[in-house]
Amino acid sequence: MIMIIMPHITLILLWLIVGIPIIINPTTWIWTGSDPGSVALAMVPPNPIQCNDGGGGGGDCTLSNSYGAWGDRKDCHVLNVTYPTNEEELRLAVAHANRNKLKLKVVSKFSHTIPKLACPGSGEGPNFLISTKNYDSGIEIDTKNMAVTVDSGVGLRRLIDEVERVGLSLVAAPYWEGVSVGGIISTGAHGSSWWGKGGAVHDHVIGVSMVVPAKPSEGYAKIIRIEANDPLLDAAKVSLGLLGVISKVKLSVEKGFKRSIRYNFTEDGGIEERWFEHGKKNEFGDITWYPSKHIAVYRYDNRVPLNASGDGTFDFIGFQPNSLLISKTIRATEKAIENSGNSKGKCAMAATVVGYKKLSANGLKNNGVIFTGYPVVGPQAKMQTSGTCLYATRNDLSCAWDPRINGLFFYETTAIFPANNLVTFTNFINDVKKLRDLNPENFCGVDAYNGFLIRFIKASTAYLGQTVDSVVVDFNYYRASDALTPRLNQDLWEEVEQMAFFKYGAKPHWAKNRNLAFLGVKDKYPSFGKFVEKRKELDPENIFSSEFSDELLFGSREKKDGCALEGQCVCSEDRHCRPDKGYFCQQGLVYKEARVCRFAHSSLFQNQI
């Protein structure tokens, strides 16, 4: 699932740098070229499954994620794909795989998982893929019991709108709405909240229906209904697709409400002390930290009554439609900056990004069209999640990361820290500040995307959920077009990454991160053994496991030349970096136990020798 990408304000920077003519429409950015009258709409994201027979699923197929590249850069080949439209067809698909001893995985309409969890195998053995793209019709709302039961393939936006239509609200949702309900539950997707049941969607689940393998006498597959009091629910709520195929999800809902949001752009002094109180005092609050600019943005976000004045929306600027040409030019500009080895260009981007975010309130709109001032008050359905780049139909605009256009291409690291011990996350922030203070310009690359996004999720009973109240950090940064091309300030992001997961023991978000983030992950979950027991019980033949899921959960792959450049390993020898390009395996600058690929002529490197 995608999180945050470089916002549209970078377009202004490009206009200043390379003279691209741009005009602003009240609801989106529009490329006009030499014709100010031409208005474009976005092209919808592609089906992540492409088959030789044109998409029907009957021939050799390839599964991609929404970025067009998995962590290992290798294609996922699938022998056959099926598109069930109802629960019985879903059961028959699982029965077919079980009867024929096929490896089986499930993918949704958009496929935003960064790790290769949706791939049923390397293609060396028989495998099978189920797409829930067309299994998206069932939404049953129980107003008496304040619950909604939904088919796993239903998109988040449709679910939110249907619930809101009858005067109810779904409380928790991720910030990006281009996901399915089944995908949300499987991977632990979340928003931000320590209040009530918390910001993780799976903690609002009160029932799950799942299709699992069965004996031949039971038709090779059966549907099990897991209710709130069933201990199996704690395994099923975050299952990574390893227990069976989720067919229906039952979620609790609440009476409809509105939210009032205000951003406070201020200096980052004391952020290491303020984060905890901010999470406690604001129901949906978050913090965005721009280290290179010494700026912290505190989001004051709380519910207000449904009769409160205001019809605002949150249309996050990074999820709005982008001109294809603009997206390509942004990417080309960033590549040129990378190739020149000069951080000042990225610092110019970061300054412009942060400046325009403050001006535009990050996409908040008081009346659904423009931002006129704080607070912005609007219905929960319009304020909790966004993704307008998903819906238009023409070919001039798209989501900026659409792999067909050679647009934005980046990594996303997401680390989850325990909040019951305040020292852990506080010390992480202080360590990042120490690394930043060696040369703030080297942190501009992350601030040109979205800095460090800090959110809050509550303790969960899910076996693969968070055992205590937690704080989550997301940050995005440039990914090279070629797997063996080193990146500007690569060593710093490797050090921050290793600092989070190894020094402070953070847990990785299941649907994000590079492979190294999952090293030793099973030891970070006290109930991991219970989850494995339920997996053996429901899938004794391991048809839902693959070498990719096994690697993620249980072990690491062989280290190869250049493997550290894309986070496939932590370097222990120079050959894991690119010594022929001047990148060598060195210790961290602040976290000395880190092992990172550093350019030999880096000024920071020279100061250490």
What spatial distance separates the first Cα and last Cα of the chain, rounded to whole Å? 41
pLDDT at 123: 66
Q: With 70 as the cut, is the pLDDT of residue 26 above it?
A: no
* Residue tagged 């969890």 (tokens): 117
> For residue 386, what is the DSSP state?
B
Percent of the chain with pLDDT over 90: 83
Q: How confident is the model at residue 477 (pLDDT cuts 50, 70, 90)?
A: very high
Q: How confident is the model at residue 609 (pLDDT cuts 50, 70, 90)?
A: very low
**16-20, 237-241, 395-399: lowest mean pLDDT where?**
16-20
Tokens (6 digits) for 6: 């470089």
CA distance 598 to 608: 12
Position with higher pLDDT, 123 vs 407: 407
pLDDT at 99: 97
Strand ranges, E, within 108-244:
127-131, 139-142, 147-151, 168-169, 205-213, 221-227
Q: How confident is the model at residue 3 (pLDDT cuts 50, 70, 90)?
A: very low
Q: With 90 as the cut, is the pLDDT of residue 29 above it?
A: no
What mean pLDDT do residues 367-394 have? 92
CB atoms within 10 A of CB 550: 12
Q: With 80 as the cut, is the pLDDT of residue 394 above it?
A: no
CATH topology of domain 49-131: 3.30.43
pLDDT at 602: 54
Check: CB of residue 107 under 8 Å from CB of residue 129.
Answer: yes
Position with higher pLDDT, 555 vs 427: 427
Q: With 90 as the cut, is the pLDDT of residue 8 above it?
A: no
Residue 125 pairs in a beta bridge with none
C-alpha distances in Å from residue 108, one per residue of 248, 291, 346, 528, 546: 14, 36, 35, 25, 18
CA distance 110 to 1: 9
What mean pLDDT do residues 244-258 have? 98
Q: With 90 as the cut, is the pLDDT of residue 391 above it?
A: no
In the chain, the amino acid numbered 244 is G
pLDDT at 566: 96
The maximal CA–CA distance of the chain, rounded, in angstroms, is 71
DSSP one-letter string for 557-570: PPP-TTGGGGTSS-
Q: With 50 as the cut, is the pLDDT of residue 17 above it?
A: no
Averaged pLDDT of the chain:
90
CA distance 484 to 476: 19
Q: With 90 as the cut, is the pLDDT of residue 31 above it?
A: no
Q: How confident is the model at residue 460 (pLDDT cuts 50, 70, 90)?
A: very high
pLDDT at 516: 95
DSSP one-letter string for 436-485: HHH-GGGGHHHHTTT-EEEEEE----STTS-SS-EEEEEEEEE--SSTT-
pLDDT at 46: 85
**58-72, 334-348, 566-580: lowest mean pLDDT where?**
58-72
Q: How confident is the model at residue 110 (pLDDT cuts 50, 70, 90)?
A: confident
Tokens (6 digits) for 446: 């992350």
Q: Where are the domains of the chain?
A: 49-131, 139-255, 258-519
The second-level CATH assignment, the architecture, of 139-255 is 2-Layer Sandwich (3.30)
What mean pLDDT do residues 430-439 have? 98
Check: CB of residue 80 under 8 Å from CB of residue 61.
Answer: yes
CA atoms within 13 A on the CB side of 166: 16
Q: How confident is the model at residue 395 (pLDDT cuts 50, 70, 90)?
A: confident
CA atoms within 13 A on the CB side of 226: 27
The domain 258-519 having CATH identifier 3.20.20: the answer here is no
CA distance 513 to 501: 11
pLDDT at 55: 52
